[in-house]
Amino acid sequence: MTSITPLLAEIQSCTACAAHLPLGPRPVLQIHSSARILIAAQAPGRKVHETGIPFNDASGDRLRSWLGLPREVFYNPMLVAILPMAFCFPGTGRSGDLPPRPECASLWRSRLLAHLKGVRLTLVIGQYAQAYHVPKSGKSPLTEAVKNWQTMWPHTVTLPHPSPRNNLWLKRNPWFESELLPALRPLVQRVITA
């Protein structure tokens, strides 16, 4: 397998959708060819854009809690790859951040995924990642995909976005925290320590 370094250099200098990005391009991702867990998410938020660290915000705090991972493990690229559907902050709309820019996935996603031969668990976060990584779920709503978490277990798990904006979703779907998370945390630990 060829080195991922030249590909990452290409991504860091990408300007394909720069004209559409309110804060300009700043690709934020985390990857190493030995990663065991792939977090397929949406796109960086404003705070992540500012720090350049994926999930370095309230969403990340919640996600790490869901997974039972301390920051030092979560941010170890040899264990966890974090590849959002778009690598740059897309801007803010009326009800939150705008959708990920589609250029990013078409340019980079398959090339990056080809380097991840050791992934044992893919965590699919949000509807855009679901559409790419779980296409057989078709147009099923995210809630239905999350509720059917055992269908692709233990290799792929669809999760809602951990954003504080999803507090109402979590309140309406208590099974997520009482059924899925208690099963997910031990699985994550097994994958990390295997």
The topology (CATH level 3) of 18-90+97-193 is Uracil-DNA Glycosylase, subunit E (3.40.470)
List the chain pLDDT tens, one digit each, 194 residues.
Answer: 578 999 999 999 999 999 999 999 999 999 999 999 999 999 999 999 999 999 999 999 999 999 999 999 999 999 999 999 999 999 998 888 899 999 999 999 999 999 999 999 999 999 999 999 998 766 678 899 999 999 999 999 999 999 999 999 999 999 999 999 999 999 999 999 98
Domain ranges of the chain: 18-90+97-193
CB 78 within 8 A of CB 35: yes
CB 35 within 8 A of CB 80: yes
pTM (two decimals) = 0.95
d(CA 159, CA 10): 30
Cis peptide leading into residue 154 (ω within 30°)? yes
